[in-house]
Every structure is written in structure tokens, then in C-alpha cells.
Chain A
Amino acid sequence: MAEVTMRVWRGDASGGDFETYTLPKNEGEVVLDVVHRIQATEAPDLACRWNCKAGKCGSCSAEINGKPSLMCMTRVDELPEGPITVTPMKTFPIIRDLVTDVSFNFAMAEKIPALLPPPMPAEGYRMFQEDVQRGQEFRKCIECFLCQDVCHVIRDHEDNKEHYAGPRFLMRIAELEMHPLDTNDRREYAREEMGLGFCNITKCCTEVCPEGIHITDNALIALKERVVDAHYDPVAWLGRKILRRTKRTAAEAAVQPAP
């Protein structure tokens, strides 16, 4: 009978090593199935996150043979022959085995100034498909944080985490900026507080996105262009000088009461 061999990193913040498991191979399985079978037999305490097992919740992110991937959407029979290596996401601190502390992402999400729509007309807002479509692409995001994991700005430079929101949350800013109802302006905030300038458009984020979102081309570059327009336009510059004291800060805008 055909077999599958999996090398799984096991350990915690204090250190760890690979454990190798060999199991019979089943037709059509994904990596997460094999991890589950390991849990059900040899290692009931093997830690991994998962919820939907359908590529919709973005919980089971890990690095499979070194590539940031969803375990539930990676078929075993599509990986090269030989042992499969599964490691936790590198960019985030280890909790245990394949589970990492992704709280950095939730902290970034909290900082983003919220949507500020105009009051809703009695019959509801009118928006057109071509206007909502751009935002809809970004809202396909399942928050698996693989783009955050792969982004070398924080993957290789821990210090940058303080100043850099990462592709997921820069894309969220782009989404809000392009939202047909939004009246807020986050362009300066994206530049000053969220580290948009750190992104040097290597497109690694786009490559690992399981939803196929064109993060770099459609969100990050578009946001950079908007920021440049705002920041280096002399009229806008003058406007900022004059309005600096009256304009709501991003942090204040973020806690605007519900419409």
C-alpha cells in the first residue's frame, strides 16, 4: 500500500524539532487530512488550527515544503514525491507545534480608521456593480495571514512590525479608500502610520493568496498612487498645513459612533 510520510515541526517558544510520521496514503486527501489522522492515532496533542476545511475560514495556514499555504487546500497527490514538510508560519511567534500567535494582525485591524458613510437614504444606498466590484475583490480575503507571513518586510525584520501593517491591512485601507460610500481619508495615515512605503511590490503576497486576490497590483500599487497624489500634490500639501489642526486624526475617526 502506498504511504505518505510527513515531517511536522513540533515544539513551542522554547524550541522544537521535526517529528516524522508515516501513514497509509488515501485517495484525494489534503495535507490537513493527514494531520488529522496523525492526531487521531499517534499524536492526539499535535496542535494545529483549523475550522472549515474548505478554504473559507483561513485558519489552517502553515508552510508546506516551505511554501505558505492552507493545509486544507493542498492536495497530497499534487506535492512532489517524498516526505512532506509542514512547519508553522515563520513570521509569527510560536504557541505550539503548527499554531502561531497571530495577534499582530488583530492589533493592526484595530488601528484602521473605520468606514464613514453618508446618512442612508430611506430606500437604501444606490451603488453600481462596477463601483462595488473593486472592493469586492479585496473582501474575498479570508484573513489566513499567509500574505503577512510571506512578506519579507516583517518576515525577515521583526523590528518593522511596529511600523508596518502588512499586505492584508494595507489592502484593507485600499478597500476602504475605494469604497463607494466612504468619506474618510486614510492616505496620510497609510503612509505615516501603516508603513505603506516599506512595501516594495515584490508580489510575494499575491503569489501565496489562496483567494487569488491581486493584492499588489489592484490594492497596494493603487493605494501607493493615491498616497503619492495626495502627499506630493502642492495644493494638497498646503491644505494639510492649514487644516492640520482641524482635521480629525485617524485614531479619532476610528472610533466614530455608529451611523
Chain B
Amino acid sequence: MTTSSPYEHHEYDVLIIGAGGAGLRAAIEAKQRGLSVALVTKSLLGKAHTVMAEGGMAAAMGNVSAEDNWKVHFRDTMRGGKMLNNYRMAELHAKESPDRVHELEQWGALFDRTKDGKILQRDFGGHRYARLAHVGDRTGLELIRTLQQKVVSMGTDVYMECKVLRLVHDSDGRIAGCVAYWRPTGEFVTFAAKAIILATGGVGKAWKFTSNSWESTGDGQALALWAGAKLIDMECVQFHPTGMVWPLSVRGLLVTEGVRGDGGVLRNSEGERFMFRYVPDMFRAETAESEEEGDRWYEDHNAGRRPPELLPRDEVARAINSEVKAGRGSPHGGVYLDIATRRSAEYIQRRLPSMYHQFMELAGVDITREAMEIGPTCHYIMGGVKVDADTTATTVPGLFAAGEVAAGLHGANRLGGNSLSDLVVFGRRAGMGAADYIEGGQGATDFNLAEVEGAIAEALAPLEHTGGESPYDVHRDLQEMMQTNVGIIRTGSEIADAIEQLETFTERVKNLSVPGGRKYNPGWNLATDLPSMITVAKCTARGAIERKESRGGHTRDDFPTADPEYGKINFAHSMSGGTWDGEITTERSPLLVMPDELASLMEEGK
């Protein structure tokens, strides 16, 4: 296919949007298949949100607990996800993640070791055995740097600080490419590609208190929806139990679950280890009943059951929220996380160096001596683009998605450590899926320039319009609104209010004004992020009002328990019409039914 584009133009077999763990791993796979591959990232290479992952990547290698295997990992993932998961994704993930970890070592990763020289694994919430391969508390950095160095050594083209605005179709509705703009110059650029892989991450920046970086603006979910793909489970948003709460300027910044895995406990203002009061029935049989039993477990995993601080994230976050609401919070509205009592300063500094550094520098708190003040922070969206488990294909031909932007693996709640492994397992599968699609000769035949022109006109509007609103004001108000109305605990009337307000936000975006030129203008860039954030927020709110139950990362005050009927369906959102503010349709979509041999695993070891 040759395309005449009036803009700077490039053609590739596979174009990958996003250069975090999933995008990089997809690039390696597609490149190894002999295809021409390019990565487009809105930041510099190596800065993606993957660097923020701290605790580790889950893979049932059994290096620390020989009993571990893929079946247990599968079961933990499904139960952590409150059974809303795409079982096939959970199966593939559990089976393939050990190979993906080993492969990283071939490419240069240096994981922490066991005494006999194997990859060390650490305990984390919701994982029955010590399962997380890690490097101190900077595992995400190790993962992204290793993949980045591999991608660079293979000679892959990387377009940095280049932001994709819209996907482009051919006349048969297949994906044909995209239109983007260069942040340093403000010039537009088009890419024709036979297949596109979305690997753009999450949308945490739509909430006020979040562990996410500025990049997490839901670009991929929105691009997919606008292009005709379906989004599911958008109401399932993970609030990580432990974000910093003070100083205000770092509120939301992540405190790794590794603190709890390595011996940290949660206390309220009365000094009580309150988590013992919040153990749900589903996890009672495997959770310690008393502090003494929990304490024994830290020293010897066979001497007691796991302490309740290591329950899945949704459970812990809700418990903290309840304690603060009941007036038992810390001075800055969190609770206490204490590792200093159990562990030596040397141990903490070796195991959790970034946490030590982060609290010392930003809060003036020495975590080897004092407890940390922490509270829930918006961390991850389980929902996203609906994909086929094996190929990561979306419902639009030629469009694939992997990593946080895709939905299914984590169901209603993601277990810590399952994200980094998700990136490499499904990043690889996305590369394979796209390569198979191209080899099947299904690539696009032409390139719809009208879509390009429409997206460019939309992007330029805030620069041409004067006297309108600042994108910073709209963003701040959106974050406040989502935090209040579609936050960790939700209620029908507030969600309905959010849905209404999101229409007002849509209108406000049309009245944005941005001063300055096109060259590296952050105000303009934010103006181009807002349609994505608002589109994704709409789907989250619509899913949240429809799901009249509480499950995982979706908690309804007015429907506080799980309803088995809702456990059989996802809410799927789609859009038609080609404009970003088009009508969204939300429908019920049945979950895949697990085959008997997998279903029987769910009963084992309860």
C-alpha cells in the first residue's frame, strides 16, 4: 500500500503505540518475525509508567516455594479477580510467565538471587506462595531497561515524544494506520501500518489521588473505542491500598506492596492491627486468625497462615478507607504502615531502597525508625479493550492491544505482581498476533485521509480559539469530580451525577483555549489528552452505574455484596459515529465459560 499523505509519512508492517513493557515486548516479537516495526511513544524511551512498578513480577517458578505451579497461580489470579477474569488469559498468563522471566535474563536482567543462585521470589498480596521475581523495589525499571536495550540492539525505529491522536481505517474498516503529532515541533505525522498494537497503559490521571504518571490518560482505550473496538470492565478500577498521603504534593505516590510482603503491618490511630477485622469469607481459611499466628508466618511460612495485610488489594484498600471514615485515621487522613518494628534498618534499606529514599527525601520520614502514613490511591484499571486471549486481537481487524490498556486477565481486581508478567506474556502474544494477521494477507488496502484531517482540525482548535477555558482547570475539575463521584466507594446517585457532569466536561473541552505555539506546549498537549480521559471516564461511570453489586475494584455502597448474576457478565461499551464525543452504547456481554478441568482447580486447596 502506498499512501499520499500531505504530512510527514512513514510506513511499517507493525506500529506499536506505547513503549512500556508491553509495547517493547511486542516490538521484539514482531521484529523477530522479520517484519518492519516501529514504536511510537509520547515520552522519551525508557520513561513509561512501567518504571514505576516496584515489587516484582509474578511467575510460578517455584524457586522459593517448591509447591508453586501454574495451576495455583491461575487459581490465585481468578480468585483475586473475583472470577470476572477472562479465564483463558489467566491460564496463558500463569503458564507462560516463568518463560518470560527467564527470557529477560537472557537479555541482561539481573534479578535478586536465592542462595543457590536461582531467581529469588517474594511474597505479595493474594499470591499463595512467594512468587514475585524482583530486583529490590525497582523491578519495573529493570524490566523496561532490559526490554529497551534489547529493542535498541535489534535496530527498531522509535518515534519519541510523538503523540498519537487518532487511528485511521481503510475503506473496509480495517486498521490502516494513525495520525500523530511531534511534541518538540508541533508538526503532524501520519503512519500507515498493516497492524497496530495498542500498549498505552492506564488512565489514573482522570482521578485526583493517583500513583500514575502524567502519561496515564487513557489514550489507548479511547483510540480503540473511537476506532470501533469494545471496552469492557471499565468500572473495575484498582485503588492501591498504600499510597503516600503527606506531603500533599506527593499524595498518591505509590508505596510498594513489598513493604507488607517483607513484614510491614497496618495499624490505625489506636495502634490496632485492624486488618484482622476485615477478612472476607473467601479468604478466611488461608488467613491468620491472630497477630501471633501472622507473626509466626513471617519467620516460617509453614508455622502459620498469611497475615491479613496480604489480602488482595481491593480488600485492604476498602478496610483502610473504613478505618479512616470511622475516625481512626492518622493526622493526614491515612493509616500507619510499620515495618521498622519487625525489620532491621539494614534489611529495610537492602530490600526496599527506593521506599527508604522516597520517604526520606520527600516526607522527611525515616522508615527504618518510624511508621509511614499511607492511604488508598488510584493505581490501575482492570478494564480496557476487549481482546481475544490468544492473539490479543480486538474486535477491529488489524488492531491489537496488550498490557494495562487491554482487559480480561485481571477480572475485577488485579493481584500485585501480575502486571509486569501481563506485559511480557501478552506483549509477546500481541507481536505474534499482529504478525500472524499480516502473514494472513489481511492488511489494509488504503488510508482514510478524511479521518486524518478531522483529527488534526480537532487538535488545533484550542490553539485557534481565544477566550476559552484553560485545559488545566478542566483537568483539575475532572479529577476532583471522578475522585468524589466514581472513587473507591460508589453510590448510584453520585455515579448518575458523574454521568451528567461528564456531558458538561465534553462541552468544556470544545471551549478550550491554549496560549503559545505548537512547539513543546504542555498546555496544548493536555488539551489533546482531555478527550481521552473524558471518554474513558464516561465508560467507567456507565459500567459503574450498571453493575449493581460490589466486586473487586468496584464497590457500591448501595449494593454492598457480590451478586452471582453479575458475576456472569461484563459490561461492554462501544461507540459509533467517528467523533470523540459520539454516543456510547453499553451492553451486557457474557463471560467465557471455564472448561471443567480448569473449573476444578478453583476448588483445590481452599
Give chain B nearest CB distance to A144 CB in angstroms: 10
Q: Contact: A55 with B249, CB < 8 Å?
A: no
Whether the pair A75, B362 counts as a contact (CB closer than 8 A) is yes
The answer to whether A254 and B47 touch (CB under 8 A), given A28-B246, A128-B117, is no
B472 interfacial by beta-carbon distance below 8 Å? yes
Confirm or deny: B508 has a beta carbon within 8 angstroms of a beta carbon on chain A. Answer: no
The A-B contact count (CB < 8 A) is 185
Given contacts A45-B524, A101-B184, contact A56 B102 (CB under 8 A): no
Contact with A along B523-554 (1 / 0, CB 8 A): 11000000000000000000000000000000
**B305 at interface, CB cutoff 8 A:** no
Total count of chain A residues near the partner, CB < 8 A: 63
The answer on a CB contact under 8 Å between A44 and B354 is no
Docked Cα-Cα span, A59 to B153, in Å, equals 22
Complex contact A12–B519 (CB within 8 A): yes
Known: A28-B246, A45-B523, A128-B117. A140 touches B138 (CB 8 A): yes
B247 an interface residue at 8 Å Cβ cutoff?
Answer: yes
Contact, CB under 8 Å: B153 / A254: yes
Chain A: minimal CB distance from B489 (Å):
26
Chain B residue contacts of A46, Cβ below 8 A: 522
Binds A, one of B141-149, B258-266, B312-320, B417-425: B141-149
- Given the known A-B contacts A46-B522, A128-B117, A142-B141, are A59 and B472 also in contact in the complex, defined by CB atoms under 8 Å? no
In Å, the complex CA distance between A102 and B51 comes to 19
Q: Does B471 contact A (CB under 8 A)?
A: yes
Given contacts A28-B249, A139-B110, contact A56 B215 (CB under 8 A): no
Task: Provide the residues of chain A in CB contact with B135, threshold 8 Å.
Answer: 136, 139
With A29-B247, A95-B520: A54-B254 Cβ-Cβ less than 8 Å: yes
Output the least CB separation between B463 and chain A (Å). Answer: 10
Assess whether A230 is interfacial by the CB under 8 Å rule.
no
Interface centre among A125, A135, A179 (most CB of B within 10 A): A125
Residues B19-35 near A (CB distance < 8 A): 28, 32
- Segment among B288-296, B408-416, B510-518 that sits at the interface with chain A: B510-518
Report the interface size for chain B: residues with CB under 8 A from the other chain: 72
Q: Is A26 a contact of B248 with CB atoms below 8 Å?
A: yes
Contacts of B111 in A (CB 8 A): 132
- Contact status A56-B354, CB under 8 Å: yes
Mark the stretch among A110-118, A155-163, A191-199, A217-225 that contacts chain B. Answer: A110-118
Partner of B357, one of A33, A41, A55, A135: A55
Contact B44 A120 (CB under 8 A): no
- Residues on A with C-beta less than 8 A from B515 are 44-45
B578 within 8 A of A: no
**In the complex the two chains form, what is the Cα distance from A47 to B523 in whole Å?**
9
Bound together, the chains give a CA A181 to CA B46 distance in angstroms of 23
Chain B interface residues toward A at CB < 8 A? 28, 32, 43-49, 51-52, 61, 102, 105-108, 110-113, 116-119, 135-136, 138, 140-142, 145, 149-150, 152-155, 158, 160, 184, 213-215, 246-250, 253-254, 354, 357-358, 361-363, 470-473, 476, 514-517, 519-524
**Chain A residues packing against B (C-beta within 8 Å):** 12, 26-30, 33, 39-41, 44-59, 73, 75, 95-97, 99, 101-102, 106, 109-110, 114-115, 117, 120, 124-129, 132, 135-136, 139-143, 176, 179, 181, 254-256, 258-259
